[in-house]
Amino acid sequence: MTLALHWFRTDLRIHDNQALASAQAGGSVAAIYIATPRQWQAHDDASIKQDYWRRNLQKLEAALQQVGIPLHYFEVATYKEIPALLERVLAEWQVNALHCNREYALNEHKRDAAVAALCSKLGIYMQLHDDAVLMPPERALNKSGQPYKVFTPFGRHMRELLEPLARREALVIKRQTSVPMKRLHEQRQLQELSWPAIDPVGEKLWVAGEVHARQKLMTFCADTITHYDEARNIPSIDGTSGLSHALAAGVLSIRECWRAAQSFGEGKGSEIWRNELLWRDFYKHIMWHYPHVSQHKPWRGDVGHVPWQHNKEEFARWSNGQTGIPIVDAAMRQLLQTGWMHNRLRMLTAMFLTKHLLIDWRWGESWFMQHLIDGDFAANNGGWQWSASTGTDAVPYFRIFNPVTQSRRFDPDGIFIRQYLPELAALNNKAIHEPGPERPSSYPAPMIELGFGRERALSAFKKQAELFQ
Ligand SMILES: Cc1cc2nc3c(=O)[nH]c(=O)nc-3n(C[C@H](O)[C@H](O)[C@H](O)COP(=O)(O)OP(=O)(O)OC[C@H]3O[C@@H](n4cnc5c(N)ncnc54)[C@H](O)[C@@H]3O)c2cc1C
């Protein structure tokens, strides 16, 4: 009997899973999951996100059982210990092939390179599949064979490359007869792995399982996608898909999202939503082609001299939603209370931190990762570097969002602010964006005069731009 092993990482689903389907094409399949709690801690993976992984594994194990595929759990502290563990597992179970879906961040790439070297030593076939992206990074290159640095031409080219995707069927797993396997002493039960404490908020807000994620996708495409172009900027309504957590954990197939949006018509809403899916690919490709972004470095080489502030007190006020700028505080409290933040507010809060407060974008990047249910290194790093004007296709440093103007525009009646800042609920729709003398004593005065913050940032960026002229 030939045995193929599928190694689950951030691809926690059965439906349309390339590596899993490919493993099954070669014979009987068994699956493994390796928890790496110290690595997760080093990567700032939020507890709410780890808890979502746990709940998804529970569902996945049950679903795999239905098709006769056993899921076995292991735990080591960090990626470094994985080759030694796998060496024993592969030998004991006499595995013929190892399949996994590629992860594009630097440490994950190094981990997989070490496992590939092990497989080659043991004479075991290993295949990495490009399942987490719409297009492998090596295929979406410009005419000179170089990676794109700007999103717009990247998106245009991707749309051409993705034409055939509409005709491709989703991959389905067949039922197999169960595989008898020797129990290894390193094996654990799911609940024996080192998970953070169960998160009751996460459980209530973020339902686990691929069935739920696929239903949510269909409901979004049927009810909301046509208005997405307008609704996506209003934080007080459910105008976006709310699928980022499922995509980040691989509970939902990115190809399925693309096909679903396409099959619901070619309207503006669907077009713009698919553009967001392309941004997701764009940042993953950037992370792959420019590994220095995974090493806390700015993508742009010419922005190394911005005098970032490292003011812990100011950072704490921003983190805890106590800046005295209502839309910023409401957004930061949304993050703390739900593990998610609306995209418009991610841009706005990131820009407030990096421009008005001139605080190091890496502090904000890490705070977001520590709290987001959808924390994804590429998207988060890309979003932070965009906001701090250090990234690809960066917003020019002189374009600085004024949070109060943004608040008036995207939350005109203060509905979102009132939801997260109940202490301001009684203010009228004019005062709620910038309380002034109407401010209740329980709410802080603005921690910075916005005009001062803006001018300080402009002058710091201008000075450092002159250095490189
Ligand atoms: C500072 C900052 C940090 C961010 N951190 C993350 C993060 O850690 N994880 C994450 O998934 N997204 C991140 N984003 C992107 C975006 O804010 C979220 O993907 C979006 O808010 C998720 O909500 P949704 O699923 O309803 O999105 P929708 O509007 O429905 O978009 C559909 C999907 O497209 C992808 N997407 C949308 N916008 C972007 C984008 N700008 N970049 C990359 N992918 C995108 C997501 O997978 C999303 O689920 C960040 C943006 C900024 C500005």
Looking at the predicted structure, is the pLDDT value of residue 465 above 90? no
Of the candidates 334, 143, 304, 121, the residue with the CA atom closest to the CA atom of residue 235: 334
Q: Which of 236, 238, 244 to mutate to test the pocket of ligand 1 (most atoms within 8 A of CB)?
A: 244
Strand pairing partners for 214?
A: none
pLDDT value at position 34? 98
Helix axis angle for 361-371 and 343-351, nearest 10°, is 150
pLDDT value at position 403? 98
In CATH, the architecture of 1-130 is 3-Layer(aba) Sandwich (3.40)
pLDDT value at position 303? 79
Say what percent of the chain tops pLDDT 90: 90
Ligand 1 atom, smallest distance to 283 CA: 43
CB-CB contact of 362 with 328 (8 Å): no
Q: What angle do CA 350, 402, 293 make, to 5 degrees?
A: 25
Backbone angles phi, psi at 249, to 5 degrees: -90, 0
Task: Find out whether the beta carbon of 36 lies less than 6 Å from any atom of ligand 1.
Answer: no
Which residues make Cβ contacts (< 8 Å) with residue 423, sequence separation at least 6? 440, 442, 443
Task: Indicate the domain borders of the chain.
Answer: 1-130, 133-168+210-289, 301-467
Q: Which two tokens stand for residue 95?
A: 């595995």
Say what percent of the chain tops pLDDT 70: 100
Could you tell me the distance, in angstroms and rounded to a whole number, from the CA of residue 343 to the centre of ligand 1? 6
In this structure, the strands spanning 125-129 and 28-35 are unpaired
Is 361 assigned a catalytic role?
yes
Atom 47 (ligand 1) nearest CA: 244
CA distance 393 to 193: 41
Q: What is the pLDDT of residues 369-390, one digit of tens each?
A: 999 999 999 999 999 999 999 9
Q: What is the pLDDT of residues 257-288, one digit of tens each?
A: 999 999 987 799 999 999 999 999 999 999 99
Is 40 assigned a catalytic role?
no
Looking at the predicted structure, is the pLDDT value of residue 5 above 80? yes
Over the chain, what is the mean pLDDT?
A: 96
Looking at the predicted structure, is the pLDDT value of residue 205 above 80? yes
Under the banding of pLDDT at 50, 70 and 90, the label for residue 397 is confident
CATH of domain 133-168+210-289: 1.25.40.80
Which run of H or of E encompasses 73?
Answer: strand 71-75
Is 206 assigned a catalytic role?
no
CA distance 50 to 191: 13
How many Cβ atoms are within 10 Å of 196's Cβ, its own excluded?
17
pLDDT value at position 331? 98
Looking at the predicted structure, is the pLDDT value of residue 2 above 80? yes
Looking at the predicted structure, is the pLDDT value of residue 225 above 80? yes
Task: Find out whether the beta carbon of 338 lies less than 6 Å from any atom of ligand 1.
Answer: no
Looking at the predicted structure, is the pLDDT value of residue 440 above 80? yes
Under the banding of pLDDT at 50, 70 and 90, the label for residue 202 is very high
Looking at the predicted structure, is the pLDDT value of residue 166 above 80? no
Give the position of tokens 């764009």: 282
In CATH, the architecture of 301-467 is Orthogonal Bundle (1.10)
Task: Find out whether the beta carbon of 251 lies less than 6 Å from any atom of ligand 1.
Answer: no
Looking at the predicted structure, is the pLDDT value of residue 180 above 90? no
Is 429 assigned a catalytic role?
no
Whether 1-130 and 301-467 share one fold: the answer is no
In angstroms, the Cα distances linking 353 to 30, 332, 339 are 47, 11, 19
Q: What is the pLDDT of residues 103-131, one digit of tens each?
A: 999 999 999 999 999 999 999 999 999 99
Of the candidates 245, 292, 466, 309, the residue with the CA atom closest to the CA atom of residue 391: 292
Q: What is the pLDDT of residues 328-379, one digit of tens each?
A: 999 999 999 999 999 999 999 999 999 999 999 999 999 999 999 999 999 9
pLDDT value at position 164? 86
Looking at the predicted structure, is the pLDDT value of residue 398 above 90? no
- Region 83-91: mean pLDDT is 98
Is 279 assigned a catalytic role?
yes
How many Cβ atoms are within 10 Å of 376's Cβ, its own excluded?
24
Looking at the predicted structure, is the pLDDT value of residue 469 above 70? no
3-state secondary structure string, 107-174? Answer: HHHHHHHHHHHHHHHHCCEEEEECCCCCCCCCCCECCCCCECCCHHHHHHHHHHHCHHHHHCCCCCCC
Task: Find out whether the beta carbon of 280 lies less than 6 Å from any atom of ligand 1.
Answer: yes
Helix axis angle for 343-351 and 377-387, nearest 10°, is 50
CA distance 306 to 448: 19
